[in-house]
């Protein structure tokens, strides 16, 4: 588990994407695009030009006022939001890059981020032969991806809850062998949707805190507290096995907190950027905790978690892959290749229904896995920008 | 350098007129060659003048920069292995990407179309950013190809390059006393990044490593501080961690005939793709400096064969006086000991063999006994690896200095010639 920076809501929603056909990294090194400057002051929204050629247009918005501001590019009706740059602090600059078709638009700023805004002015995009594509079917595809992922999260958390019940029962009943055998397969359901579970800031530390993450005086609960009790061989000298009361307490909390999680994911839905950033986040979990063997410090079942994180990332990627094929086919091909290569490496360490213990891997095995996580991580981290422009 | 002869001693070819930030937002338009003459509304900072620390060297040139270029103060060297499954096309793509990025960074620009801070807000920045606001700092990036690029250790020809392998590009022989450590030598590819600002050199290797993810990964790397050689008569001779001037008799850029004869591979020497290139040898030489430091000055000087202060040969004169190896003292013993380093390494004792040395001091923390993990990261460029091997064999057998040194890392790379603008480094190898 690793707490992640909470990103603000994403600028370009699924609807915006569909309407503007906006894209990010498609332009190669030889691409050119119009760059305009916008000076957002307390009362003005001064754009350096009132028109630009169709294609990629970059607005560099500088906030010269003393309030946090926003910049809007609006459609010809002056209402529909085509693109926006938000949360620009005083003195800061932020870019809005949009792909625009010829037509009439409006520009406006909103210092203070409330009210009607200031400096609303007409903006014209002229014919250039490089008009952006608008895919009307996109919105439907994005909605399909969203609902598909929401269903996946619900299913995984439901299986997690069922598995947790069985695991907790075995643990409390003193059937340690059964509990140990259920530990990694049950946790896989958690790891597949780990970034979602982590988004509930209070539940994550209760369920997935490692001993090294504890603050002085903090009660240690959740999976890893039980993990240490089930695999005490590497515990510190003087370690005392938990008594029946403590076991019952930890098991009860684990079950209850998992039920709480189940309730919280029942009505979730996800924007496109939440999906892509979820995939990115899952691979970062692999890179920071799993490939290093830090996550499952006592059981050494890190490769189970590794596979589960990758499973979750693959599901998220599969959901948006069709959209990506239209936006950036080369990136899609690269991600296909790198996901497959990572899976092939993981498959080398399969034992029965599971995986070899982390401690059985050679230094070369670990190095190969780490290299491939890097190989996948670089293109995967471009996924959000490729699909969702800000 | 644009040629074997640098434009002027110690002076960069052209001062950079643009800051790293100066090209932001141009999206590649008009960025060519040195990046000069770019139109647009971006900031163009006035030329900083000829100060060596501020300016840069052109990447696209007849020979790669970083060889006869006046040795900069700092080094970050990295050796890479290509990843399993990497194809010939992947290798070419990597060299192409590296070339573009190296040309940008040596001109003081960010990597990528958008650089460190002007890309999409929802994408990781293309450039890692720690060189923002820094001058090019004389950055040179020099690429090399190791023997395993042409034929893996198991004999496979992964990239269809075996027929292009130069006969001289084979692992260096084992020298007496070598204590090479696993994983500290060799490699399919190498990058030598030198600059007068350590952050600029590290930025270069960091970004090039990132570009390589999925195609190649670092096998070993080395930071160096403090050049231990002069490669130009405009530079004062620096000192190594023994406290002695090092590289007094080095090949200097101002000796074009010697550079051609001893450093650049000539057409006819081997495969055509390497003509105008060179061979790069690295040796990680650990110095047991704690023991050295309690050695009496008389012995220190006898071991080196030069005075510690001036650096003059013990046969007399000043630093640049040629040593007289026959000159004897009152006891008829030669003033420069038979086992002195300067005698054994001298061209006159090695059938005229010379090399262009470009090494750096290093201190990488300490060992478990509390001794500094310190020494010389030896780098030399030569027309043939045999120049190094012959001299090193003589040194390894007899050099009195061996008592205080331990060779723990070793690598050999073929350094292709420079790339012309629009081409990629080593392109002739794939023709």
**Looking at residues B146-165, what average pLDDT do you find?**
96
DSSP B57-106: --SSSSS-SSSSSPPPSEEEEEEEEEPTT--HHHHHHHHHHHHHHHHHHH
Half-sphere exposure of B127 toward its Cβ, with a 13 Å CA cutoff?
28
Q: Which domain holds residue A262?
A: 1-22+164-390
**Looking at residues A218-242, what average pLDDT do you find?**
93
Q: Which residues contact A235 (CB under 8 A, 6 or more apart)?
A: A228, A298
User: Would you say residue A355 has pLDDT above 80?
Assistant: yes
Q: Which domain holds residue B181?
A: 74-429
Residue A373 lies in a domain: yes
Residue A270 lies in a domain: yes
Q: Could you count the other beta carbons within 10 Å of the beta carbon of residue A172?
A: 17
End-of-domain residue from the set A109, A132, A155: A132
pLDDT for position B246: 86
pLDDT for position B131: 96
User: Would you say residue B294 has pLDDT above 90?
Assistant: yes
* Number of domains chain A is built from: 2
Lookup result for tokens 């434009």: B7
Residue A147 lies in a domain: no
pTM, 2 dp: 0.82
pLDDT for position B43: 26
User: Would you say residue A358 has pLDDT above 60?
Assistant: yes
Which H or E run contains A174?
none
A162 by DSSP, 3-state: which? helix
pLDDT for position A389: 53
DSSP state of B380: E
**Looking at residues B263-283, what average pLDDT do you find?**
97
Comparing A226-235, A330-339, B48-57, the range with the smallest average pLDDT is B48-57
A:B CB pairs within 8 Å: 73
Measured in angstroms, the CA of B84 and the nearest CA of chain A are apart by 9
pLDDT for position B274: 98
User: Would you say residue B51 has pLDDT above 80?
Assistant: no
Residue B262 lies in a domain: yes
pLDDT for position A226: 97
Which is it for the CA torsion B144, B147, B151, B153, positive or negative?
A: negative
Q: How far apart are CA A86 and CA A69, in angstroms?
A: 7
User: Is A95 close to B27, i.e. CB distance below 8 A?
Assistant: no
Instruction: Confirm or reject contact between A381 and chain B (CB < 8 A).
Output: yes
pLDDT for position A385: 84
**Looking at residues B1-5, what average pLDDT do you find?**
39
pLDDT for position A136: 53
User: Would you say residue A152 has pLDDT above 80?
Assistant: yes
Instruction: Note the ipTM here.
Output: 0.75
Contact B416, B64 (CB under 8 A): yes
Contact B253, B6 (CB under 8 A): yes
User: Is B113 close to A10, i.e. CB distance below 8 A?
Assistant: no
End-of-domain residue from the set A116, A132, A148: A132
The arrangement of strands across the sheet holding A81-88 comes to: A51-53, A118-126, A103-109, A69-74, A81-88
**Looking at residues B258-275, what average pLDDT do you find?**
96
Give the domain CATH number at A273. 1.20.1420.20
User: Would you say residue A2 has pLDDT above 50?
Assistant: no
pLDDT for position A209: 93
pLDDT for position A127: 86
User: Is B25 close to A27, i.e. CB distance below 8 A?
Assistant: no
> A79: pLDDT confidence band, cut at 50, 70 and 90?
confident
Q: Assess whether A100 and A195 both reside in one domain.
A: no
User: Is A375 close to B213, i.e. CB distance below 8 A?
Assistant: yes
Q: Which of B121, B213, B215 sits opposite A94 (nearest CB)?
A: B121
Give the domain CATH number at A52. 2.60.40.420
**Furthest CA-CA distance within chain A:** 77
Comparing A87-91, A243-247, B238-242, the range with the smallest average pLDDT is A87-91
Residue A309 lies in a domain: yes
Residues in B touching A32 (Cβ below 8 Å): 27-29
Strand partners, B388: none
Instruction: Confirm or reject contact between A388 and chain B (CB < 8 A).
Output: yes
User: Would you say residue A122 has pLDDT above 50?
Assistant: yes
User: Is A11 close to B27, i.e. CB distance below 8 A?
Assistant: no
Residue B2 lies in a domain: no
User: Would you say residue A134 has pLDDT above 70?
Assistant: no
Residue A286 lies in a domain: yes
Helix A302-327 and helix A329-347, axial crossing angle in degrees, nearest 10: 160
Residue A210 lies in a domain: yes
The dihedrals phi and psi of A379, each to the nearest 5 degrees, come to: -70, -35
* Number of domains chain B is built from: 1
Residue A355 lies in a domain: yes
Residues in A touching B124 (Cβ below 8 Å): 381-382
> A390: pLDDT confidence band, cut at 50, 70 and 90?
very low
Numbers of helices and strands, H then E, in chain A: 12, 11
Q: How far apart are CA A159 and CA A163, in angstroms?
A: 6
**Looking at residues B140-162, what average pLDDT do you find?**
97
pLDDT for position B351: 95
Q: Assess whether A10 and A62 both reside in one domain.
A: no
pLDDT for position A30: 34
pLDDT for position A32: 57
End-of-domain residue from the set A132, A149, A175: A132
Contact B94, B216 (CB under 8 A): yes
Q: Which of B303, B245, B282, B244 is nearest to B382 (CA)?
A: B282
Question: By CA distance, what is A376's nearest residue in B?
Answer: B214
Residue B4 lies in a domain: no
**Looking at residues B179-195, what average pLDDT do you find?**
96
Q: Assess whether A72 and A204 both reside in one domain.
A: no
pLDDT, chain B, mean: 88
Measured in angstroms, the CA of B120 and the nearest CA of chain A are apart by 6
User: Is A338 close to B100, i.e. CB distance below 8 A?
Assistant: no
pLDDT for position A143: 84
Comparing A216-225, B113-122, B374-383, B404-413, the range with the smallest average pLDDT is B113-122
At A237-293, the pLDDT tens digits run 889 999 999 999 999 999 999 999 999 999 888 878 888 889 999 999 999 889 999
Task: Note the Cα A279 to chain centre separation in Å.
Answer: 5
At B379-415, the pLDDT tens digits run 999 999 999 999 999 999 999 999 999 999 999 999 9
pLDDT for position B22: 35
pLDDT for position A130: 57
Half-sphere exposure of B223 toward its Cβ, with a 13 Å CA cutoff?
15
User: Would you say residue B136 has pLDDT above 80?
Assistant: yes
pLDDT, chain A, mean: 87
Q: Assess whether A261 and A376 both reside in one domain.
A: yes
Tell me which residues of chain A, numbers 270 to 289, contact chain B at a CB-CB cutoff of 8 Å. Answer: 273
**Looking at residues B407-426, what average pLDDT do you find?**
97
- Which residues of B fall below an 8 Å CB-CB distance to A? 25, 27-29, 83-85, 100, 113, 118-124, 210, 213-215, 217
- How many degrees, rounded to 5, is the angle at CA A313 between CA A309 and CA A316? 145
Q: Assess whether A380 and A274 both reside in one domain.
A: yes
Residues in A touching B29 (Cβ below 8 Å): 32
Q: Assess whether A325 and A228 both reside in one domain.
A: yes
Contact A273, A12 (CB under 8 A): yes
User: Would you say residue A10 has pLDDT above 70?
Assistant: no
User: Would you say residue B279 has pLDDT above 50?
Assistant: yes
Q: Assess whether A244 and A120 both reside in one domain.
A: no
% pLDDT > 70, chain A? 88
> A121: pLDDT confidence band, cut at 50, 70 and 90?
very high
pLDDT for position B112: 93
Measured in angstroms, the CA of B292 and the nearest CA of chain A are apart by 36
User: Would you say residue A28 has pLDDT above 50?
Assistant: no
User: Would you say residue A192 has pLDDT above 90?
Assistant: yes
Q: Assess whether A217 and A321 both reside in one domain.
A: yes
User: Would you say residue B67 has pLDDT above 90?
Assistant: yes
């Amino acid at each position: 588990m690793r707490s992640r920076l909470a990103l603000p809501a994403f600028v370009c929603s699924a609807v915006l994407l569909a309407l503007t056909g906006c894209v990010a990294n498609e332009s190669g090194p030889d691409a050119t695009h119009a760059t305009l400057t916008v000076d957002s002051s307390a009362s003005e929204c001064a754009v350096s030009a009132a028109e630009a050629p169709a294609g990629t247009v970059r607005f560099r918005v500088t906030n010269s006022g003393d309030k946090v501001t926003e910049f809007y590019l609006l459609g010809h009706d002056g209402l529909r939001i085509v693109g926006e740059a938000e949360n620009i602090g005083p003195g800061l600059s932020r870019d809005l890059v949009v792909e625009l078709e010829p037509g009439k638009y409006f520009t406006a700023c909103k210092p203070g981020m409330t009210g009607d805004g200031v400096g609303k002015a007409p903006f014209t995009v002229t014919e250039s032969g490089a008009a952006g594509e608008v895919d009307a079917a996109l919105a439907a595809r994005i909605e399909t991806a969203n609902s598909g992922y929401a269903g996946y999260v619900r299913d995984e958390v439901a299986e997690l809850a069922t598995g947790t019940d069985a695991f907790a029962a075995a643990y409390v009943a003193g059937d340690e062998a059964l509990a140990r055998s259920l530990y990694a397969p049950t946790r896989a359901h958690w790891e597949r949707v780990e970034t979602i579970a982590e988004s509930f800031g209070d539940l994550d530390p209760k369920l997935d805190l490692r001993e090294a993450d504890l603050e002085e005086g903090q009660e240690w609960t959740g999976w890893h507290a039980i993990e240490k009790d089930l695999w005490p061989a590497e515990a510190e000298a003087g370690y005392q096995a938990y008594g029946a009361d403590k076991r019952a307490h930890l098991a009860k909390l684990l079950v209850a907190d998992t039920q709480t999680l189940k309730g919280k994911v029942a009505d979730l839905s996800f924007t496109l950027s939440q999906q892509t950033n979820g995939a990115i986040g899952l691979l970062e979990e692999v890179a920071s905790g799993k490939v290093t063997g830090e996550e499952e410090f006592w059981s050494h079942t890190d490769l189970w978690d590794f596979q589960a994180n990758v499973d979750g990332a693959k599901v998220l990627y599969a959901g948006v892959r069709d959209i990506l094929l239209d936006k950036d086919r080369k990136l899609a091909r690269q991600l296909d290749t790198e996901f497959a290569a990572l899976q092939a490496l993981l498959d080398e360490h399969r034992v029965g229904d599971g995986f070899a213990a982390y401690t059985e891997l050679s230094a070369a095995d670990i190095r190969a896995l780490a290299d491939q996580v890097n190989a996948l991580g670089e293109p995967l981290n471009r996924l959000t920008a490729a699909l969702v422009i800000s | 350098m644009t040629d074997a002869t640098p434009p002027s001693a110690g002076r960069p070819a052209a001062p950079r007129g643009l800051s790293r930030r100066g090209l932001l937002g141009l999206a590649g338009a008009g960025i060519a060659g040195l990046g000069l003459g770019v139109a647009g509304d971006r900031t163009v900072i006035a030329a900083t003048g000829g100060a060596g620390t501020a300016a840069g060297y052109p990447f696209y040139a007849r020979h790669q920069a970083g060889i006869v270029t006046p040795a900069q103060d700092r080094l970050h060297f990295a050796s890479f292995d290509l990843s399993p499954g990497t194809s010939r096309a992947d290798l070419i793509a990597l060299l192409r990407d590296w070339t573009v990025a190296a040309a940008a960074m040596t001109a003081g620009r960010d990597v990528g179309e958008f650089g460190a801070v002007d890309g999409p807000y929802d994408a990781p920045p293309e450039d890692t950013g720690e060189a923002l606001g820094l001058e090019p700092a004389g950055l040179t990036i020099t690429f090399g190809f190791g023997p395993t690029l042409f034929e893996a250790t198991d004999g496979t020809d992964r990239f269809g390059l075996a027929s292009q392998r130069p006969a001289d590009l084979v692992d260096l022989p084992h020298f007496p006393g070598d204590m090479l450590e696993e994983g500290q030598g060799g490699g399919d590819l190498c990058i030598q990044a030198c600059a007068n600002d350590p952050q600029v050199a590290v930025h270069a290797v960091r970004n090039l490593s990132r570009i390589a993810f999925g195609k190649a990964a670092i096998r070993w790397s080395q930071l160096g501080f403090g050049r231990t050689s002069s490669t130009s008569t405009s530079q004062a001779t620096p000192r190594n961690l023994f406290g002695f001037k090092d590289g007094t008799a080095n090949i200097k850029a101002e000796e074009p005939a010697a550079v051609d004869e001893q450093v650049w591979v000539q057409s006819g020497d081997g495969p055509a793709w390497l003509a105008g290139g060179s061979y790069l040898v690295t040796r990680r030489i650990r110095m047991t400096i704690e023991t050295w430091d309690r050695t009496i000055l008389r012995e220190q000087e006898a071991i080196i064969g030069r005075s510690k202060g001036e650096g003059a040969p013990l046969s007399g004169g000043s630093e640049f006086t040629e040593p007289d190896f026959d000159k004897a003292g009152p006891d008829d013993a030669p003033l420069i000991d038979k086992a002195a380093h300067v005698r054994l390494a001298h061209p006159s004792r090695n059938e005229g063999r010379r090399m262009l040395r470009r090494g750096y001091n290093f201190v990488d923390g300490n060992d478990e006994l509390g001794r500094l993990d310190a020494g010389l990261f030896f780098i030399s460029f030569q027309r043939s690896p045999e120049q190094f091997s012959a001299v090193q064999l003589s040194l390894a057998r007899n050099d009195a200095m061996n008592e205080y040194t331990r060779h723990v890392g070793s690598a050999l790379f073929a350094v292709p010639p420079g790339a012309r603008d629009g081409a990629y480094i080593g392109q002739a190898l794939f023709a």
